[in-house]
Amino acid sequence: MKKFLALLLSLALMATLLVGCGGGEKETGKTGDTKKVEDTKKDDTKKDDAKKDDTKEPANSKTVKVGITIYKFDDNFMTLYREELERYFKEELSNDEVTYEVTVVDGKNDQAEQTNQIQTFIADKYDVIIANLVQSSAASTVVNLCKDADIPVIFINREPTAEDLDLWDKVAYVGADARQSGTMQGEIIYDLENHGDLNGDGKVSYVMVIGDPENVDAQYRTEFSIKALTDKGIEVEELVAQRGDWDQAKGQEIVAAALTQYGDQIEVVFCNNDAMALGARQAIEAADRKVGENIYLVGVDALEEVVSYVKSGDITGTVLNDHIGQAHTAADVAVKAVNGEQLEKNYTVDYVKVTK
């Protein structure tokens, strides 16, 4: 009996050792045991996955290369836009499965330079290109380059023509309808008690500070801000209309010269963007004029600084150009393109009127 017990004990010990050494499948040849071992393996894998989740290690993640070119870095609005675009790709779209590797380059306001940058993205086999063109008229060249290389291209901010967008199905435009922003500028003036006619002579005499005449944003804002007034039966008189290249210093120069030349005749200063409106505000202050009392001033973009001037009454109003909405839409459309999804031609984000 003792011997039998001893035998049982040593058999049990051997069995424990066999299971303990973990290489049991082949030795035992029993499916039941094999399953257990596999289950253990699966559990280990699960643990590994959990570890990955904790540390956000992109170990087996796919990398998508995104090439972004901005018409020039030295532009207030496009700086906010590109920073949000980069942040959104890196912080919100990248995850364990896919890492967006984003390269943003400065087109330096030079189309030849920007076309080279796009060719470099193509040579370096980027997966998608986001382009804020220096000249919208370069769109067809850019589409054809991208089409030959089969790399989708998403245009932002500067709208290409419908024909250019129709050249290929992996092309789209993300922007805002500049007609809307112009109309809102005109409405801000119309909504004033005197509809902008400060001196009561029956017409609104204005200065128009234009962004860049080749850009549809500038064309539409210039046209539709005035149309919003004339459509409502307001008579207008253009005193000065000059190009300020979206630039604060140029806005200041243009408005300072206009104030010297036309003085009190100027009732409204329309600026195609806020950077130029900031310059105009400086010129207005230097000329001892007071916004809201003897002159009105409107911009577009809703830069933080301008919004605080709107609050304090130093700028009559602006229009929110939603760089966050546009940046997110541009990135989401780029991801769709990379995933081979069907694209629409145009994706537009609404403007919003900003007054005190």
The answer to whether 217 contacts ligand GAL (rule: CB under 6 A) is: yes
Closest approach of ligand GAL to the CB of residue 326, in Å = 9
Residue carrying the six token digits 């382009």: 131
The answer to whether 158 contacts ligand GAL (rule: CB under 6 A) is: yes
Q: Return the axis-axis angle of helices 274-286 and 76-87, rounded to nearest 10°.
A: 140
The answer to whether 75 contacts ligand GAL (rule: CB under 6 A) is: yes
The answer to whether 136 contacts ligand GAL (rule: CB under 6 A) is: no
**Encoded tokens for 141:** 């060249």
The answer to whether 273 contacts ligand GAL (rule: CB under 6 A) is: yes
Work out which of 94, 136, 215, 219 binds ligand GAL, going by CB under 6 A. Answer: 215
Work out which of 114, 225, 321, 329 binds ligand GAL, going by CB under 6 A. Answer: 321
Q: Total binding residues for ligand GAL by CB under 6 A?
A: 14
Asked if residue 212 lies in contact with residue 250, where contact means CB atoms within 8 angstroms, the answer is no
The answer to whether 247 contacts ligand GAL (rule: CB under 6 A) is: no
The rounded distance, in Å, linking the Cα atoms of 290 and 292 is 6
The rounded distance, in Å, linking the Cα atoms of 282 and 19 is 83
Residue 280 has φ and ψ, to the nearest 5°, of: -60, -40
Select from 71-79, 118-126, 254-262, 344-352 the region that touches ligand GAL (CB under 6 A): 71-79
Three-state DSSP at 353 gives: strand
Q: Return the axis-axis angle of helices 274-286 and 248-262, rounded to nearest 10°.
A: 40
Select from 72-80, 202-210, 222-230, 329-337 the region that touches ligand GAL (CB under 6 A): 72-80
Select from 22-30, 74-82, 113-121, 333-341 the region that touches ligand GAL (CB under 6 A): 74-82
Closest approach of ligand GAL to the CB of residue 208, in Å = 15
- Residue 65 or 158: the one with the smaller Cβ distance to ligand GAL is 158
- Which helix H or strand E contains 313, and what residues bound it? none
Work out which of 301, 327, 347, 354 binds ligand GAL, going by CB under 6 A. Answer: 301
Work out which of 78, 134, 172, 354 binds ligand GAL, going by CB under 6 A. Answer: 78
Helix ranges, the chain (H): 2-20, 24-28, 31-55, 76-87, 111-123, 139-149, 162-165, 178-190, 216-230, 248-262, 274-286, 304-312, 323-338
The answer to whether 246 contacts ligand GAL (rule: CB under 6 A) is: yes
The answer to whether 220 contacts ligand GAL (rule: CB under 6 A) is: no
Closest approach of ligand GAL to the CB of residue 318, in Å = 10
The answer to whether 65 contacts ligand GAL (rule: CB under 6 A) is: no
How many secondary structure helices (H) and strands (E) does the chain include?
13, 12
Residue 67 has φ and ψ, to the nearest 5°, of: -105, 125
Q: Which residues bind ligand GAL (CB under 6 A)?
A: 75, 77-78, 157-158, 211, 215, 217, 246, 273, 275, 300-301, 321
